[in-house]
Amino acid sequence: MEEEFDVSESKSTFDIKAFIIRVLSYWKLFVLFIGVGVFIVYQQNIRKQQSYRLGTQISIEEESNPLFTSTTSLTFNWGGVSGKVQTIINSLKSRSIHEKVVDNLQFYITYLKQSRFRKDDIYTYAPFAIEIVPDTKQLLDVPIRVTFLENNKYEIYINFENSVVKTQNFTDKSKSNLDVPLGEFKSVYNLDETIQTPYLNGVLYVKEGRKVNPNEEYYIEFNDFDAVVANYRSKLNIDNPRNSAILNLSMVDVNKAKIVDYLNETVTVLSEDQLNRKNQFVTNTIKFIDEQLDRVKSQLTLNADSLNNYKQKNKIFNLNEESSAINTKLVSLELEKDDTNRKLAYYSSLKTYLEMSDTFTELPAPAVAGIEDSNILANISKINELSVQKSKYGSTVRKDATIFADLNRQIDGLKEVLLENISSASNELRRILQSTNSKIAIEEAKIRKLPRAQQKLFDIQRQYSLSEQTYNVFLAKRGEADIIKSASVSDILIIDKAKDTGATPIDLKLSSRYLFAIIGGILPPLLLAFLLTFFDNKLHNPQVLEGLSNIPLLGVIGKNSLDNNLAVHLKPKSTIAEAFRSVRSSLQYFYKKNIQEGTKTVMVTSSVSGEGKTFCSINIATVFAMSGKKTILVGLDLRKPKIFGDFEIENDIGVVNYLIGQKSFEEVVQKTKVENLDVITSGPIPPNPSELLMSEYMDGLIENLKKTYDFIVLDTPPIGLVADALELTKHVDASIYVVRQDYTKKGMISLVNDKYNKGEIKNLSFIYNGYNQKGRYGYGYGYGYGYGYGYGAYANGYHDNDSVKKSFLNKIKSLFK
């Protein structure tokens, strides 16, 4: 079993040329990924509904009432524009606004029509509608098919896949589960006939001006109210440019008509809500006035009846002149007293309200009670404004927000000031009341001097006059309040209503999506090629080898297509044979240059097993033998012997037997079918190969070989795995290091460089083995890397014809690989 070893990776740089070649070799992947991407986009395009964005623009303004004048007795403070924009934004984000909009538009009902790939929301294009029976349950999230028939009939079809379905009552929005029979439900109804089932209740009718054709199919689907509200609430986009009073509302949806209706209805609901909040003070005042009118009207009716009855019974129809004068003055004093009491009652009620209540939005206008104190009027307006503002924030801001603490602090301060004002004003009113009571007592003393009948009539007449004038005062104030309320307008000003003016889809154009599909198809193979190139640490061409080492390149050997390693012997005219002849010439030049006389010895090694070391050893020995030189090939890879199989000889006796003194030199040498070539196989695998190669017997073996042969080729173990080859360098004149294309790692070159630079191996050269001109990472150098290994016209004269044909066929086949 081979040992593993670690080598330090040489510093690598990104090979742009290798990357480009690898990218080009992945053309099938590019075609596949681009085709898949285009197909996916096509399928998405034919199924996708386009989205649209529409908007509306509103302005938040401070609209004052045009009926407010200096003579208006009822005054209301509406607050200012400051802070209103943020309040409006918070209101638009609140759930309550969207609940009103969805409820008003009934967007929880969806009208659908089956298209090729989906059910499309047809909304206003639906020629019919369903009117829900109030306080009934409707089936949720299950499409209900409606098929129109002849004679104003239609069929309802529901397929129940579960025995329990969800239903919702859209009146009170309550939800419940309902048991239903599994399977299909079918029933035929007349138009305008009420559908009554446990899970569907309503009346289906055709819209005015529309018609339906027989056999047309549509679908109705009821959706969860809360889910619909949440969906539209999340879709509404609010933009406040430069913190101005302008708000831009927009929404994205697949149905433009729904966007238009939803935005416009949102503005309508918001405007009504703001107007109601704005009129809250005057509404409370009108309610208070109405209560007083009812009370005074009842009293006035009683007094009128009493007055008429007394006059008819006693035959007295008019007061005398003296009585009339007293009555006029006394009524005036009574009205003054009543006004004072009303003010005191208002102050008392206001004091209790301020002390006991946390909200001050239900205060009636002080002018109703005749309050004209400017300090009290101003403070009540301020506290009402703050209370209304606090009420607005209550539905949109968290209760623990700092804004509530600030508002409460301001309200508490105003309360203290108001209570002091009320106390001071109440004391003054009591003094006035006491004075008025004294004046009334004087006038009543005058009445007692009148005849008894006149006194009784006077008393009834006075009560009637007092009630009548009080009623007229409240009635006048009621009319004034109605005028003010009807004249007030919302602070929401619509600048541009939402409208579909030919909106274009905001989604990417369908044709443009194909460009992204192509880019998406290119990127994965491109990234794969980059990563493989970046992390690739193998040799793929001779130039890379020359860039990694200063050791000379002796030759480039093509890829052996035979099942046997005797490539030179079996096909002496092949390109591989020419390559080994080039190696032989280079070695002979080397020996001549170094003045090597007598027997020449060459050692063939490599980094690891599988790089073609034995293949090169056999064929180098063969080319020497074919030149007429007596040559011997010695298998010294004692751990993993190989060369005997190619020569069809036995490995029973070999170098090991000689080195342990078991056999003589003549007994271990074997003849081969190659003329002038002998072989000494390694023999049985020994337990101590390194020690045997270092023994004196090894020195004797080399001496005997040199006496007999002209060339000695030593097939040694891989230098990267074991150190056996290093022990043999002292016996050789030249060393050949075999590397293999697409197999040898670049880091292994750094190992041999290190040994070469340290002088552990001398006279070392590389052989580049397994070169494939059309290989996946080949650079198209062509055979003939400067070593007589060409594919030109000259080279073809020495190649076997079948090899040329096969090479041509391989070229054709490679186009379809």
From CA 756, how far away is CA 740, in angstroms rounded? 19
Q: Is 730 exposed, middle or buried (0-12, 13-18, 19+ CB in 10 A)?
A: exposed
Q: Which of 267, 273, 269 is nearest to 494 (CA)?
A: 267
DSSP for 109-136, written as a single string: EEEEEE-SSSEEE-GGG-SEEEEEPTT-
- Given a contact cutoff of 8 angstroms between Cβ atoms, the answer to whether 700 and 655 are in contact is no
Q: What is the pLDDT of residue 680?
A: 92
Which residue do the tokens 């042969």 mark? 709
Return the amino acid letter for 196: Q
Is it the case that residue 794 has pLDDT exceeding 70? Answer: no
Task: Choose between 576 and 483: higher pLDDT.
Answer: 576
For residue 348, give both structure tokens.
């008392």
Is it the case that residue 196 has pLDDT exceeding 80? Answer: yes
Tally Cβ neighbours within 10 Å of residue 566: 19
- Given a contact cutoff of 8 angstroms between Cβ atoms, the answer to whether 474 and 292 are in contact is yes
**Kind of pairing between the strands at 677-680 and 631-635:** parallel
Tally Cβ neighbours within 10 Å of residue 62: 12
For residue 739, give both structure tokens.
């590397």
- Given a contact cutoff of 8 angstroms between Cβ atoms, the answer to whether 714 and 728 are in contact is yes
Tally Cβ neighbours within 10 Å of residue 130: 21
From CA 246, how far away is CA 275, in angstroms rounded? 18
From CA 118, how far away is CA 20, in angstroms rounded? 45
DSSP 8-class letter at 611 = S
Is it the case that residue 367 has pLDDT exceeding 80? Answer: no
Strand order across the 194-196 sheet: 128-132, 201-206, 194-196
- pLDDT class of 4 with cuts at 50, 70, 90: very low
Which residue do the tokens 């060393």 mark? 735
Write out pLDDT tens, residues 129-167: 999 999 999 999 999 999 999 989 999 999 999 999 999
Secondary structure string (H, E, C) spanning 543-588? HHHHHHCCCCEEEEEECCCCCCCCHHHHCCCCHHHHHHHHHHHHHH
Q: What is the pLDDT of residue 546?
A: 86
**Kind of pairing between the strands at 119-121 and 492-496:** unpaired
Distance in angstroms between the alpha carbons of the first and the last residue of the chain: 36
Q: Which of 197, 160, 167 is nearest to 181 (CA)?
A: 160
CATH 3.40.50.300 maps onto the chain at 542-814
Task: Choose between 487 and 21: higher pLDDT.
Answer: 21
Task: Choose between 257 and 464: higher pLDDT.
Answer: 257
Is it the case that residue 545 has pLDDT exceeding 70? Answer: yes
Write out pLDDT tens, residues 294-316: 777 777 677 666 666 665 565 55
From CA 752, how far away is CA 531, in angstroms rounded? 27
Strand order across the 174-179 sheet: 137-139, 164-169, 174-179
DSSP 8-class letter at 13 = -
Tally Cβ neighbours within 10 Å of residue 665: 15
219 contacts: CB under 8 Å, gap ≥ 6: 111, 112, 113, 114, 119, 143, 144, 145, 146
From CA 397, how far away is CA 395, in angstroms rounded? 6
Q: What is the mean pLDDT of the chain?
A: 79
Give the residue-averaged pLDDT of 46-65: 77
Tally Cβ neighbours within 10 Å of residue 397: 17
Write out pLDDT tens, residues 571-626: 888 889 999 999 999 888 888 887 777 888 999 998 888 888 899 999 999 999 99
Task: Choose between 796 and 40: higher pLDDT.
Answer: 40
Is it the case that residue 331 has pLDDT exceeding 60? Answer: yes
Q: What is the pLDDT of residue 228?
A: 95
Core vs surface per residue 442-462: b (16+ CB within 10 A) or e: ebbeebeebeeebeebbbbbb
- pLDDT class of 3 with cuts at 50, 70, 90: very low
For residue 454, give both structure tokens.
């006149």
**SS3 for 798?**
coil
Helix ranges (H only) for 236-318 are: 256-278, 280-314
Write out pLDDT tens, residues 619-654: 999 999 999 999 999 988 888 888 888 888 888 889
Is it the case that residue 12 has pLDDT exceeding 90? Answer: no
The helix, strand and coil proportions of the chain, stated in percent and rounded to the nearest 5, come to 50, 15, 35
Tally Cβ neighbours within 10 Å of residue 250: 17
Radius of gyration of the chain (CA): 55
Task: Choose between 772 and 210: higher pLDDT.
Answer: 210
What whole-number percentage of the chain has pLDDT above 70? 77
Is it the case that residue 399 has pLDDT exceeding 60? Answer: no
Is it the case that residue 199 has pLDDT exceeding 80? Answer: yes
Residue 347: in which H helix or E strand, if any? helix 321-356
Q: Which CATH class is domain 542-814?
A: alpha beta
In this predicted structure, which of 180-184, 598-602, 791-795 has the lowest mean pLDDT?
A: 791-795
Is it the case that residue 534 has pLDDT exceeding 70? Answer: yes
Q: Compute CA 256 distance to the chain's CA centroid, rounded to the nearest angstrom.
A: 24
**SS3 for 727?**
helix
- pLDDT class of 719 with cuts at 50, 70, 90: confident
**SS3 for 767?**
strand
Core vs surface per residue 625-637: b (16+ CB within 10 A) or e: bbeebebbbbbbb
Q: What is the pLDDT of residue 669?
A: 92
Write out pLDDT tens, residues 725-756: 677 888 888 999 999 988 888 888 888 888 88
Beta bridge pairs of residue 633: 679, 713
Instruction: Enter the pTM of the model.
Output: 0.53
298 contacts: CB under 8 Å, gap ≥ 6: none
Give the residue-averaged pLDDT of 776-785: 41
In this predicted structure, which of 212-216, 360-364, 524-528, 702-706 has the lowest mean pLDDT?
A: 360-364
Ranges of beta strands (E only) in 406-500 are 492-496
Task: Choose between 428 and 77: higher pLDDT.
Answer: 428
- Given a contact cutoff of 8 angstroms between Cβ atoms, the answer to whether 15 and 480 are in contact is no
**SS3 for 294?**
helix
- Given a contact cutoff of 8 angstroms between Cβ atoms, the answer to whether 636 and 715 are in contact is yes
- Given a contact cutoff of 8 angstroms between Cβ atoms, the answer to whether 635 and 679 are in contact is yes
From CA 3, how far away is CA 5, in angstroms rounded? 7
Residues in the chain: 817
**SS3 for 119?**
strand
Is it the case that residue 67 has pLDDT exceeding 50? Answer: no
